Structure 1
Amino acid sequence: MRFYTFKRRNILNLLLFVLVGILILAAGCMPKEESSTSNDASPAENTDEVDAETSSVGTFVVDLVADATTMDPGQATDVNTHRVHYNMFDTLVQWKEEAFEIAPGLAEEWDISEDGLEYTFYLREGAMFHDGTDVDAEAVKFTYDRMIDENHEHHYGPFPLADFYYGMIEEIEVIDPYTVKFVLQEKTASFLFNMATIIGGIVSPTAVQESGEDFASNAIGSGPFKLENWQRGVQIELAPHKEYWDGAPEIAKLVITPVKEDLVRVTRLMNGESHLIYDVNPDSIEEIEGDSNLEMLTQASPHLWYVGLNIRKEPFGDLKVRQAVNYAIDKEAIVNDILKGTGVAATQPLAPAYNGHDPSIEGYPYNPEKAKQLLEEAGYSEGDISINFVIPESGSGMQQPVAMSTAIQSYLADVGIEVGIEKMEWGAFLDEVNQGGRDVNDMWALSWMAITGDDDNVMTNLYSSNNIPLFNSGYYENEEVTTLLDEARVETDFEKRSALYQKASKIITEEAAMLFVDYAKQTAAMTSELNGFQLHPSQMMDVSKIGK
């Protein structure tokens, strides 16, 4: 069967440059050392300069919570990096503007074989990379081969998510310059959703071949903006791609700055030093809403904030202790008092936005007496348990990590568990948690955003035993759960697939695989004088339509 929104190829020549929608998403990999850095430079200020020949909007400044970790889309695992890449790269298919629905991207149309094992994509002609080379079938094949083939000449990894998203690909065939076929090892229900993630952003083969490992600092894609300069920890400067197939952006210069302090981001926005900020401090929402020059943006998202528990270490190897920790935390108070309603208390692995969310699962309501009882049954008295809790100072999707973690520390103290908090910079924190440091840690605060909007993105990554030791960082192992998740990955019947996830969710919740805290709402704020921007449930950022 064929999916398309345009006519077939014999009449596509009449419609080469039809508008097809926004760019796509992708939820790190550790920072590389090759890029230029400067600790003395200051974030760009709003100059309000306008290039009359190319733009109706001058310099546009975006403040994010953290810097990008890499410029190579295949290497990234955190949402702030994805947000940058979303403006630099294109994917074969992408999301519609307001929902997790597939729309054409670099591919104008595609075929799916009856057995679901072959996907043939028909590329739009005329799309160009920032270096002036053509986006063609060879570039598509190169992009995916370099990620999934560890023996590829240009496998400049690591590519942490490549196996999860693209490991089912058996072969990629170039049919002609603008037709490429993906042959899968097994039918995968979420394949098109995976292809819409910015992790699969198509890269310039010429640039990769010329730059080698330095490509991670000087990446070239085909998106609406091209990289001009990256000063680590200071700012990223992007220029409009004047030959962009979907029309050049109106922004003359895009500057993305990492500003980890919540109040500083808000102050810069109110002072006109920036135009768009993400992850608004809940205490600042009322003030922003009262400013006629600003617009507050919120949206529900498929985002879980959780505390990882090291099940291979005592005391969390004991189910009763894990359950006690879950009962000990007043999640409603955290959501209402700290997050000011910008979240929903979590009960299970999947947020209500997912098809596999089971409303009958009540989770662990606040019950400190029940927590104490379970600890006693497990053989622990007050003060017997002393654990370390590693948290980031700030970071992608982490809401209010210090305040939330401090509250959790206090709640656990109330039931007799001593907790020592260690705060770390975001990049160092990811290194600690993802690269083996978890073996010496008891708990860590993290979040997971399913950038595909598909249940599989959460469930397989966080709870399948096949994903140890990568993102299943707490070493949760249950053979029945892994089997259910494997079956759900290939099940194309909607109701059967949802039932499999619901069954797995019930087991995971009962076994308290982690401390489920809240489902975050996405927050952002921007100057009200510009239009053309909206939030997307994927939490990606597309500023290419601003001013249009």
Structure 2
Amino acid sequence: MIIYRRRRPGPALVLLALALTLGALAIYAASRLVYTASLDSRALNVGLTAPVNSLEPARILSHEERLVGSMLYEGLVQYDEPGKQAKPLLADEWKYEENGQKIVFKLRNVQFSNGKKVQAADVKTCWEKTLAGSKEGSHISLFLPIAGSSDFLQGKSSEIAGLKASNGNILEITLTTPNAAFIYMLTHPVFWVYDSKDSAVPPPGTGPFILQQNSEQRLSLLQNENHHQGSSPIKAIEVKIFKDPAQALAEFKAGQLDYLDKVTPQDLPGLRNDPELKEMLVEKPLYTLYGIGFNLNKKPFNGNYLLRRAINYAVDRQAINKDVLGETYIPLKGVLPAEMPGHNTDIQGYGYDPEKARQLLEQAGYPGGKGLSPLMLAYNQGEGHQRVVEIIASQLSEVGIPVQLAPLTWDYYKKQLASYNLVLFRLEWSADYPDSDSILYSLFHSSHIGSTNYFAYNNNQVDLVLDSSRASIGDEKERVKLLQKAEQMIIDDAPCIWLFQTATAKLVRENVDSLEVDGLDTVDWFKAELKKPVLSNALQTPTDGKV
């Protein structure tokens, strides 16, 4: 330690202090050079706790696949969460024509990772290839606003008529109707751009990294030197895939990982109380809903909104979150997650009110639950769902509503859900794109009955309001107002029990900077970097020259 005194030191003391300081600085500088060099060359070590089965945009389904895929691919636009708007990425600019039914994009001067220049025709052909190869209904539905996509899917046309490339860098997208939400849909992986004519698997993209090695346990990625924003601060990424979350956490604690993508709810309380690890813990609310759905085609829920409201008031979301989930989720009163564009903070929704539940139950024709047959609550086994539905069944029984639990395998559950055979069912829905439309339109517009409207919810007035919100091109305030109106109408109809907004928990080592997670649980990998050490204040020469 260097101590500053009021009296002026003698020459010998000055020389000794100066020598010690310079020596320390030299030693530190030498070690810093080594450490800095290692940071410049070493990879960012990422840990995942689920497999990456595919990195082809048409086949990307899981969060982990989307996370790694975003290292390789980009879309025309990206989502700016702080500004809650879409901003240019591969597109330099865009404009609306024909009253919002056509969007004209001008592309940047961009290359694929194989060195080939990206043309508007490449965007068209890769999107057509993605749509042709998509099996997931929710992914296919994202293309349907584009004119001619249905004919292309049905084999009536060899191309999507609503996509037109011209002048090398101009892409025109004609929609079936004006759609203000479509610009946000373009952030989804199905609209990532890649070289569809390259035979590599996965094909070359424009993202900040290039895949070098892909195995079941590990993926290696190197910096894309052709990236249009320049070289990323990180030179390489090593992704290690763990079958056991406990092993992943152990390796993070041992310093072998810089970023652990998922922490289990069971480990979260301990991490929150760990003096060191709590500083590295990142908890982020997501645009994801967890709830219980009513099949409005089946008794006793069809035509009986009073019964549906009664059930909503009978559920104590706070107690479930505290006693079962370890306060890892966020209780919901309405449809939309907090922080999502269009979310209304003034929504009252449904709080826990068992007395009101009893009153509504009587008004619904079932006083004290008399005459109400046991409700069969179906859920997929695993992931802690049983503990949640058990406490819901217990809470409903307290107001006289009988419930029987029906655990199903995942595959059978999905088939029964898609066939509308379930009366009461667990449901989790993650927004496909960062806009309220992704939840309100996808889940509750009648045009999605048979695909993602699992409740068979059909309200013509809600349809009209949602359609009007999509038609509000250039008037974002009016669009948000309409979305909030639709949300309130849906809440009043109570087609489901809104339980929680889910959240994610991750560990990020302190030497990692600018690694930000958004509401879709994605990361802008181009911004992330490994921090370098700075000189300690104790080793810096005083600015006044005194020792």
Q: If the TM-score is normalised by the length of the shorter chain, which range does it land in?
A: 0.7 to 0.9
Specify which structure has the higher proportion of helix.
2
Structure exhibiting the larger radius of gyration computed from Cα positions: 2
Q: Deviations over 1:213-234 (max 9, x none)?
A: xx6xx454222233455556x5
TM-score between the two structures when normalised by the length of structure 1: 0.76
Contact 2:283 2:505 in 1 (8 A): yes
Q: Deviations over 1:245-285 (max 9, x none)?
A: 33256253431526575x55544432445432344345544
1:322 CA drift (Å): 2.4
> Is 1:363 the counterpart of 2:349 in the alignment?
yes
Contact 1:51 1:252 in 2 (8 A): no
Instruction: Map 1:70-469; keep pairs closer than 5 Å.
Output: 70-96=54-80, 98-113=82-97, 115-129=99-113, 131-147=114-130, 155-170=132-147, 171-207=162-198, 210=199, 218-228=202-212, 230=214, 234=217, 236-246=219-229, 247-248=231-232, 250-257=234-241, 259=243, 261=245, 265-282=248-265, 284-285=267-268, 287-289=270-272, 290-292=274-276, 295-317=280-302, 318-354=304-340, 356-375=342-361, 377-379=364-366, 380-381=369-370, 384-391=373-380, 393-394=382-383, 401-414=385-398, 415-422=400-407, 424=409, 428=410, 432-433=413-414, 437-469=418-450
Contact 1:95 1:102 in 2 (8 A): yes
1:461 CA drift (Å): 0.3
In the aligned structure 1, how far is the partner of 2:218 from the partner of 2:406? 30
Q: Deviations over 1:104-158 (max 9, x none)?
A: 21122333337333333222224214x444322121111223345xxxxxx1222
Q: Provide structure 2 residue ranges, at least 5 long, that are not aligned to the other structure.
A: 1-34, 148-161, 532-547
| 1:519/1:54 CA distance change after superposition, 3 Å | closer
Q: Provide structure 1 residue ranges, at least 5 long, that are not aligned to the other structure.
A: 1-49, 149-154, 395-399
1:451 CA drift (Å): 4.6
1:202 CA drift (Å): 0.7
> Is 1:495 the counterpart of 2:440 in the alignment?
no
Amino acid at match of 1:306: G
In the aligned structure 2, how far is the partner of 1:286 from the partner of 1:195? 37
TM-score between the two structures when normalised by the length of structure 2: 0.76
SS in 2 for 1:525: strand
Amino acid at match of 2:489: I
> Is 1:479 the counterpart of 2:463 in the alignment?
no
1:423 CA drift (Å): 5.8
In the aligned structure 2, how far is the partner of 1:411 from the partner of 1:67? 37
Aligned length: 473
Q: Which residue of 1 aligns with 2:20?
A: none
Identity level (%): 22
Instruction: After the TM superposition, list the runs of 4 or more consecutive aligned residues in structure 1 that deviate by more than 6 angstroms.
Output: 50-54
Contact 2:312 2:350 in 1 (8 A): yes
| 1:337/1:99 CA distance change after superposition, 3 Å | farther
In the aligned structure 2, how far is the partner of 1:362 from the partner of 1:194? 29
Contact 2:418 2:454 in 1 (8 A): no
Contact 1:383 1:418 in 2 (8 A): no
Q: Deviations over 1:403-460 (max 9, x none)?
A: 4334323323434422324264xxx45x732675553333333333335321211110
In the aligned structure 1, how far is the partner of 2:223 from the partner of 2:485? 48
Amino acid at match of 2:187: A
In the aligned structure 2, how far is the partner of 1:434 from the partner of 1:235? 33
Q: Which residue of 2 aligns with 1:532?
A: 514
SS in 1 for 2:71: coil
Contact 1:100 1:537 in 2 (8 A): no
1:517 CA drift (Å): 0.4
> Is 1:517 the counterpart of 2:494 in the alignment?
no
